[in-house]
Structure 1
Amino acid sequence: MALRNAVMAALLEGEASGYDLAKEFDASVANFWMATPQQLYRELDRMEAEGLIRARLVEQERRPNKRLFSLTEAGRVALRAFTADPPRPTAIRDELLVKVQAIDAGDDEAVRAAIRERGEWARAKLARYERLRARLLAGRSEHDYLAHAERVGPYLTLQRGIAFEQENLRWAEQSLAVLDRRAATLR
């Protein structure tokens, strides 16, 4: 998948500046797609040149001018074509898992610290995702939201991000417990 597809999906919410898109990526899209602001701005320029999005300049008095981006009809056609193609299977490429695989030959404490950090990161992301979930629901039940919201895609991807981070946290806690028990028996 190309970054452009994630950008076009984000622009379905409406017109946004590059700064707004970077914040949205960090707050919501990050549960399934990561991009640095530099990557995002380069992609926005390419997409504009290809006619997938358009930019309009907004002049501001006390701040630098900004560009607001929106999808063009060509962008909507490209996004429809993207959604019609079957996705490739997901493959995990996780450096921490390689370190855990090699823990018996490596620095046990460094790997344990990395697992603890992964758990803390998952806990922090879960808290952010739960705040986003509450904001999306805006006091409605999940059933009501899913039945009546204009768009349910952002909520469904958020639910996947929540499940992913819950599993990361569960795995980190389980792995640390196993390593603690092993360390106690080896003393």
Structure 2
Amino acid sequence: MTESASRVLICGSRRWPWPDTITTLLDRAAAPHGNDLVIIEGAGTGAASAAHHRCINHDLPAWRHRCHPLTLTPGRRTRTRCWSEAERNQRILHDEGPRLVIAFHENFHPHHTGSTTDMCRRALAHQVPVWLVPTADPDKGLWLNPSHYTTQHPGHGSPHQDRPDPQADTDTPPQTPAASTAEAPA
């Protein structure tokens, strides 16, 4: 594995309905990076499954397709599964060193529990930029930042009321998984 390898982590909804969106973004990322693109994913359902299948269909070697399926700890009850996902998320970020996280989630809310929310929060804490794609259009999305997780929210309003409107805050989608800051590329 080379130090210059561009490393992109794919995460998202288990019910992500648009797998072609993931394929499109990964194909775009692969174009400028060729054999230096490393795709990291969790081998789950939905968004992770789409990324996994794209890697398999392109016959990526293990060093370029970093797959981290969730393996539950023996003896753990199902209801504690979220701890296992959180532990896996931390391990992936620490061990794989992604340069960019692309999260695919049609109903993302930074204050809900879930693996995608956890991964995005942890990535931002590690100063890894996070691009959120909430629709089938791979060009529509927004850069997440730590303030999405720290804003106080009264009551239980709309799940989208505290996050930026993707139409209003849409910025340039990531052109390269080698981005090193949380700011949108110029």
Q: Same fold (TM over 0.5)?
A: no
Q: When you count strand as a share of all residues, which structure comes out higher?
A: 2
TM-score range, shorter chain: under 0.3
Q: When you count helix as a share of all residues, which structure comes out higher?
A: 1
Normalising by structure 2, we get a TM-score of 0.26
